[in-house]
C-alpha cells in the first residue's frame, strides 16, 4: 500500500509504484488497482453475508436450546 507521501509523488509524476506494469499509464494503473479493490470488497461482502447467516443460525439454535432448558424438569435430592 502507498503512503500519502508516495501517492503525492505518483500523482505529481515524481515517482512510480513498484507494482506498476511495463508500458502501463497512470490512469491504467489506477483503474487496475481500483478494480482489484472492488473485487476484494465484493469477496469481503460475501464473507460478511455468510458470517451473518451463520450467526443467525447459531442464535436460532441457542434460542431453541434455551427453550428446552427452561421447560425441562430437574429432579433433585431435596
Find the domain containing 71 and state its range: 23-78
Please check whether residue 21 is in contact with residue 36, taking contact to mean a CB–CB distance below 8 angstroms: no
Mean pLDDT of the chain: 92
Domain count, the chain: 1
Residue 10 lies in a domain: no
User: Is 3 contained in some domain?
Assistant: no
Please check whether residue 73 lies inside any domain of the structure.
yes
Looking at residue 78, what is its pLDDT?
65
- Is the model's pLDDT at 41 over the cut of 70? yes
Which pTM does this prediction carry?
Answer: 0.68
Q: Which residues contact 62 (CB under 8 A, 6 or more apart)?
A: none
Q: Is 12 part of any domain?
A: no
Name every residue whose Cβ is closer than 8 Å to that of residue 17 and which is 6 or more positions away in sequence: 2, 6, 10, 29
Report whether pLDDT(22) > 90. Answer: yes
Torsion, CA 24, CA 27, CA 31, CA 37, rounded to 10 = 100
1 in a structural domain:
no
Amino acid at each position: 500500500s502507498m503512503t500519502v507521501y508516495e501517492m503525492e509523488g505518483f500523482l505529481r509524476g515524481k515517482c512510480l509504484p513498484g507494482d506498476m506494469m511495463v508500458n502501463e499509464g497512470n490512469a491504467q494503473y489506477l483503474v487496475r488497482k481500483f478494480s482489484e479493490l472492488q473485487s476484494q470488497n465484493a469477496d469481503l461482502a460475501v464473507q460478511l453475508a455468510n458470517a451473518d447467516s451463520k450467526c443467525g443460525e447459531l442464535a436460532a439454535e441457542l434460542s431453541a436450546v434455551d427453550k428446552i432448558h427452561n421447560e425441562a424438569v430437574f429432579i433433585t435430592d431435596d
